[in-house]
């Protein structure tokens, strides 16, 4: 029986098509992998991180737009620019302690135990030390004190407190008892920070008999820091250098 050329050609094409189709199916099957739970969680985490990055960028953009709007509101004449710069200067000087300030707050008079009898284990526990004053300052800061002075010396971030025998050194100046601490802030909160049971001031007063007399004031005057402070090692970081 003879087979025509047409049938042979059809047969060859059919076989070739079958091989081609099977190869394509096999290739497609290999390109797909089963989706696992860990893969889904990993993808969700990547999406969440991307959303967070977008939110952070939106906040930065919003902040910059507000700055631009603030600048745009200026009429760009010399008086407006000088006024804005002066406002920034006053704010910076207030924070750094280089400006006289006034406002409500409290004063604290601290002095050594006035009694002749030694209350502590030795006489050193009946006198005020630099650490005692430092702990009181820390409690006042935690309570929201915005400006503090000791015997007229402004306390700033770089102010040191050193024991020098019967006196304490601050900002290079020696001061003796009584120590008068002035603090501007919410009088109620400041009083609570040195009057509440268990506070450091409470222990000084009730356990060691240290003289401690806090008083609320409607208005206090705290002088500016009179010294000079320069950074020797720290330097400002430009916006394009931030990590």
The CATH fold assigned to 100-222 is Alpha-Beta Plaits (3.30.70)
Q: Which of 183, 186, 185 is nearest to 214 (CA)?
A: 183
Task: Domain ranges for the chain, please list them.
Answer: 42-94, 100-222
Q: Please give the pLDDT value at position 29.
A: 47
Whether this prediction's pTM lies above 0.75 is answered by: no
Q: How would you write the pLDDT of the chain (243 residues) with one tens digit per residue?
A: 444 555 555 666 666 666 656 665 555 544 445 656 666 767 777 787 778 887 888 888 888 777 777 766 665 566 666 676 677 666 666 666 778 889 999 999 999 887 755 555 555 667 888 899 999 999 999 999 999 999 999 998 878 888 877 788 888 888 888 999 999 999 999 999 999 998 999 999 888 888 999 999 999 999 988 877 677 777 777 766 666
């Amino acid at each position: 029986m003879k087979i025509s050329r047409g049938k042979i050609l059809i047969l060859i094409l059919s076989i070739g098509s079958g091989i081609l189709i099977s190869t394509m199916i096999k290739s497609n099957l290999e390109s797909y992998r089963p989706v696992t739970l860990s893969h889904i969680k990993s993808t969700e985490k990547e999406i969440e991180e991307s959303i967070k990055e977008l939110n952070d960028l939106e906040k930065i953009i919003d902040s910059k737009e507000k700055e631009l709007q603030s600048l745009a509101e200026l009429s760009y004449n010399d008086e407006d620019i000088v006024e804005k710069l002066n406002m920034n200067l006053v704010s910076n000087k207030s924070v750094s302690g280089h400006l006289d300030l006034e406002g409500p707050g409290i004063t604290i008079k601290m002095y050594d135990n006035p009694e002749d009898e030694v209350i502590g284990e030795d006489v050193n526990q009946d006198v005020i030390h630099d650490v005692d004053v430092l702990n009181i300052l820390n409690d006042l800061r935690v309570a929201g004190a915005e400006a503090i002075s000791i015997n007229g010396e402004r306390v700033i971030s770089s102010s040191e407190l050193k024991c020098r025998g019967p006196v304490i050194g601050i900002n290079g100046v020696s001061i003796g008892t009584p120590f008068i601490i002035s603090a501007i802030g919410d009088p109620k909160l400041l009083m609570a920070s040195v009057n509440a049971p268990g506070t450091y001031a409470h222990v000084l007063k009730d356990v060691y008999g240290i003289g401690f007399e806090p008083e609320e004031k409607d208005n206090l005057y705290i002088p500016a820091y009179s010294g000079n402070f320069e950074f020797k090692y720290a330097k400002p970081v430009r916006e394009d250098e931030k990590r």
